[in-house]
A and B are shown apart, each in its own frame.
Chain A
Amino acid sequence: MIPEIGHFALIMALMLSVAQSVLPLWGAHRGDARLMATASPLAFAGLVAVGVGFGALIWSFVVNDTTVMNVVQNSHSAKPLIYKITGTWGNHEGSMVLWVLTLAICAAAVAGFGRDLPSGLKSRVLAVMGMISLGFLAFTLFTSNPFDRVWPPPPDGQGLNPLLQDIGLAIHPPLLYVGYVGYAVTFAFAVAALIEGRVDAAWGRWVRPWSLAAWAFLTMGIAIGSWWAYYELGWGGFWFWDPVENASLLPWLVGAALLHSAIVVEKREALKVWTVLLALLAFALSLLGTFLVRSGVLNSVHSFASDPARGVFILGLLAVYVAGAFALFAWRAPAMAPQGVFSPLSREGGIVLNNLLLCSIAAVVFVGTLYPLFLDLLTGQMISVGPPFYNMATAPLAFPLVVAMAMGPLMAWKRAAFWPVLQRLWWAACIALLAFILALVLGGWNALPALGFACGFWLLAGAVVDIGDRSGLGRTKLANVFNRARHLPRAAWGAAIAHAGMGVTILGISGMGLATERLIALPAGGTTQFAGYEWRLDGVRDFQGPNWTSRKASITVMRDGQVLHVMEPSRRFFPVGRMTTTEAAIRTNLARDLYAVLGEERDGPTGQREAVLRLHHKPLAPWIWIGAGIMALGAGLSLSDRRVRIAAPNRRRREAEEAARAGATA
């Protein structure tokens, strides 16, 4: 019964989204206030309907209702409750419902918080969101119904895949979805602006918080995914340039460009057409990621239930939304006259440079991800584009980006001078140079990691200079400085913290560049010296898990005769599915990670049983994810800024402004 209610609720949501995509749009076109007023209630009702549907699905998983196909395939009565719940979105069908639910929450948020939005813009935004919701609800109901029944019900579900019973994997997809869906909101704003043929400061003020929020969630989602790959896949890497990873990186890069250029629209009413294009692109790339992951055209280690028939449906949705929006863009964008002139050397100029570099990196990743697919399609040739390409192609773009990142916030709007900026940054440059030399000497003359350290410290120092400069450091008394720093707008703090977070992540990545590893075969009791530690293999024993058996090694790590850690890497074998997974053992003290992986066991030359161990010493590794957390924190802080919370100015003031502007141009 409950699954039927859920199914029915989703159908209701589909009907509501039809109404939501038609009525407000028609109302805005006709100037009919009553029709426009339907937008918000429809958005709220849609949220309730999708919420009921999602609740029904969770309920089916929690009670392990084996008459529901989705539960049978993805759940099991013996699963812990938390993984029954997270299993709801750990599969294709459920994740689509979660996607639609997130979209409904965002639409309701626009409806609820958008009381100050001009009613025409608001109804158009909600109508576009209704159209997106319509497409994805139709996709869910027609090709991937999560409530399909199975009769007779099997005694229990089949889904006890322990790889998926992992907290990282449970929270990673929802975070990514919130990010993707956040870009649906900015997309809706961009389309509404194109329909209206007008982009102004109020529009920028609305787009910026949404792009910030989406970006913050995407940052966390990507970071957690990368962390999962680090500790679970046992390769010791944190980023593999896997097509599925790239698919999430693309909207992140373009989204980062968007949240910067939206500032320019808000403050200076410049870069309008470009910002609208970025908003369209960010969502288009999010959809592209969804398509690539779920249609099966990609060859990736992250396999998802892929099905070409579903792929055709998603491609159809992509065609409608993306091609439709771009066609609208081609038609309407020329009408948007650029305003707010600025010299190339200015805050705006800096942001344009940031946008160009970020988009170039995105273009490199885009080409690297899709080129093999299209080559295979056109010539039948199989190639794979690997990390060397990405590292080579993105590093020369990332370096100037980082250099400019510390300088941009110090530049004045409209017209800036180079010299004062350099003057304020000279000691940051000194720190960076010092870091470079130190890293070069201590890190064994590795130029690239040393350059990374320089970049990281440059950004950290640059963030300090930024805050110091804004609070008048060096120009006024120290007590005054602290007082002013405390009362700086949160957006200023947010920007500085996010930039510093990037610096921390770069330090972590550079530390990884100095990582060392050793592959060694040890008998029980054997020891080895590696990375300044003494590693002793105490033994390897059998271990029985709930549905797997494993070989577990016990390694004692000592320094100067003192035991620091006991590490227990293991290899698990799952008889169902015949899968072997490696469980790496990781010990961290925040300055470095020790990482041990158990390999094969074999008979050594002396006839003794030996275990092959892979030992890694990874300086600063945890900083990669800490930095990402700091970036997200900075974005969150910026979101809590009072100027964002009161969002758009009230309508009367806006109209007055508009009248004044019309008078000025006339």
Chain B
Amino acid sequence: MSTATSRRNLLIFAPLGVALAGGTGFYLMLRGLQDGSFNPRGVPSVLIGRTVPEFSLPPLESSGLPTLASADLLNLPGPVVVNFWASWCVPCIIEHPHLMALHRRGVPVYGVNYKDRANDAQAFLTRHGNPYTRLGMDQPGRVAIDWGVYGVPETYILDRQGVVRWRWAGPITPELMSQDVNPLLDRLRA
């Protein structure tokens, strides 16, 4: 009888125990979400932690900018941002001011113009401003496929060694700038 009672008393603590264990787990998940060590949206780019595949792209002649090739992404003085964009892409206009801000702060932003016409791309840069220090034209979209790009805009951050540290599919937002981009750039520069 007494063992039955004590077992019953133990059982009565079970909900509390489960709730506390679960709560602790959730708390750790939330902490992980904030510092980036826990990400349930499990579509990590295969490129994260690796160097980019080899490529070389033609330049946008009218812009006078140097073009981009995989060789330009090795042994860099600091972290760089690689941005896939197109003139026909509306979210690219939305994220454009953030790229301009990065450019003004001296962060090299390399552009890959995706499935676009040269005239349209140039018109876009003339109208909205040019944030890119290098720009390659990926008209057939081959390089985008090699990188595993979902669609434009898509943005990568590479460290000095050319290793991909961060990737974002979709437009860059102010929250993303303050939570992810700027802290990561600071860390990589340090």
CB distance from A155 to the nearest CB of B (A): 16
B20 touches A308 (CB 8 A): no
Q: Which positions 136-167 of chain B face chain A at CB distance < 8 Å? A: 151
Interface centre among A318, A333, A578, by most chain B C-beta atoms within 10 angstroms, is A578
* A329 partner, pick from B16, B29, B32, B151, beta carbons under 8 A: B16
A326-B19, A578-B91 given; name 10 further pairs at CB < 8 Å.
A277-B15, A295-B26, A295-B30, A297-B33, A299-B42, A309-B34, A318-B26, A323-B19, A330-B13, A376-B40
> Quick check: is B9 within 8 A (CB to CB) of the other chain?
yes
* B33 partner, pick from A273, A311, A319, A370, beta carbons under 8 A: A311
> Quick check: is B22 within 8 A (CB to CB) of the other chain?
yes
* B12 partner, pick from A281, A333, A374, beta carbons under 8 A: A333
Where the two chains meet, the residues of A that have a C-beta atom closer than 8 Å to any C-beta of B are 273, 277, 280-281, 284, 291, 295-299, 308-309, 311-312, 315, 318-319, 322-323, 326-327, 329-330, 333-334, 370, 373-374, 376-377, 382, 384, 575-578
Taken together as a complex, chains A and B put the C-alpha atoms of A334 and B5 apart, in Å, by 9
> Quick check: is B25 within 8 A (CB to CB) of the other chain?
yes
CB distance from B114 to the nearest CB of A (A): 13
For A311, what are the chain B residues with a Cβ–Cβ distance below 8 Å? 26, 30, 33
For A295, what are the chain B residues with a Cβ–Cβ distance below 8 Å? 26, 30, 33
B34 touches A329 (CB 8 A): no
For A273, what are the chain B residues with a Cβ–Cβ distance below 8 Å? 12
B91 touches A577 (CB 8 A): yes
Q: CB-nearest residue of chain A relative to B16?
A: A326
B30 touches A329 (CB 8 A): no
A297 touches B40 (CB 8 A): yes
Taken together as a complex, chains A and B put the C-alpha atoms of A322 and B22 apart, in Å, by 11
CB distance from B151 to the nearest CB of A (A): 7
> Quick check: is B123 within 8 A (CB to CB) of the other chain?
no
For B30, what are the chain A residues with a Cβ–Cβ distance below 8 Å? 295, 297, 308, 311-312, 315
Q: CB-nearest residue of chain A relative to B33?
A: A308
List 10 contacting pairs A-B, 8 Å CB cutoff, sorted by A: A273-B12, A281-B15, A297-B30, A308-B33, A309-B34, A323-B23, A330-B15, A330-B16, A374-B25, A578-B91
Q: CB-nearest residue of chain B relative to A297?
A: B29
CB distance from A213 to the nearest CB of B (A): 25
For A334, what are the chain B residues with a Cβ–Cβ distance below 8 Å? 8-9, 12
**CB contact under 8 A between A299 and B41, given known A326-B15, A329-B12, A578-B89:** yes
For B13, what are the chain A residues with a Cβ–Cβ distance below 8 Å? 330
For B29, what are the chain A residues with a Cβ–Cβ distance below 8 Å? 297, 373, 377
A298 touches B15 (CB 8 A): no
> Quick check: is B90 within 8 A (CB to CB) of the other chain?
yes
Q: CB-nearest residue of chain B relative to A315?
A: B26
For B9, what are the chain A residues with a Cβ–Cβ distance below 8 Å? 334
Taken together as a complex, chains A and B put the C-alpha atoms of A311 and B91 apart, in Å, by 28
Where the two chains meet, the residues of B that have a C-beta atom closer than 8 Å to any C-beta of A are 8-9, 12-13, 15-16, 19-20, 22-23, 25-30, 32-34, 38, 40-42, 89-91, 151
For A376, what are the chain B residues with a Cβ–Cβ distance below 8 Å? 38, 40, 42
B38 touches A323 (CB 8 A): no
Taken together as a complex, chains A and B put the C-alpha atoms of A273 and B12 apart, in Å, by 9
CB distance from B3 to the nearest CB of A (A): 15
* A377 partner, pick from B15, B20, B25, beta carbons under 8 A: B25
Taken together as a complex, chains A and B put the C-alpha atoms of A309 and B30 apart, in Å, by 8
Taken together as a complex, chains A and B put the C-alpha atoms of A315 and B20 apart, in Å, by 11
For A312, what are the chain B residues with a Cβ–Cβ distance below 8 Å? 27, 30
A296 touches B33 (CB 8 A): yes
**CB contact under 8 A between A578 and B90, given known A281-B15, A334-B9:** yes
For A370, what are the chain B residues with a Cβ–Cβ distance below 8 Å? 22
A330 touches B19 (CB 8 A): no
A308 touches B34 (CB 8 A): yes
**CB contact under 8 A between A330 and B12, given known A299-B41, A578-B91:** yes
The 8 residue pairs across chains A and B that have the minimum distance between CB atoms = A326-B16, A299-B40, A308-B33, A326-B15, A382-B42, A330-B13, A311-B30, A297-B29
B23 touches A318 (CB 8 A): yes
A576 touches B33 (CB 8 A): no
For A384, what are the chain B residues with a Cβ–Cβ distance below 8 Å? 42
For B34, what are the chain A residues with a Cβ–Cβ distance below 8 Å? 308-309
Taken together as a complex, chains A and B put the C-alpha atoms of A547 and B127 apart, in Å, by 24
A298 touches B40 (CB 8 A): yes
For B26, what are the chain A residues with a Cβ–Cβ distance below 8 Å? 291, 295, 297, 311, 315, 318
CB distance from A597 to the nearest CB of B (A): 22
Q: CB-nearest residue of chain A relative to B151?
A: A578
Taken together as a complex, chains A and B put the C-alpha atoms of A327 and B16 apart, in Å, by 6
Taken together as a complex, chains A and B put the C-alpha atoms of A370 and B25 apart, in Å, by 10
CB distance from B172 to the nearest CB of A (A): 15
For A318, what are the chain B residues with a Cβ–Cβ distance below 8 Å? 23, 26
CB distance from B11 to the nearest CB of A (A): 10
For B8, what are the chain A residues with a Cβ–Cβ distance below 8 Å? 334
Taken together as a complex, chains A and B put the C-alpha atoms of A156 and B42 apart, in Å, by 35
B15 touches A329 (CB 8 A): yes
Taken together as a complex, chains A and B put the C-alpha atoms of A382 and B44 apart, in Å, by 11
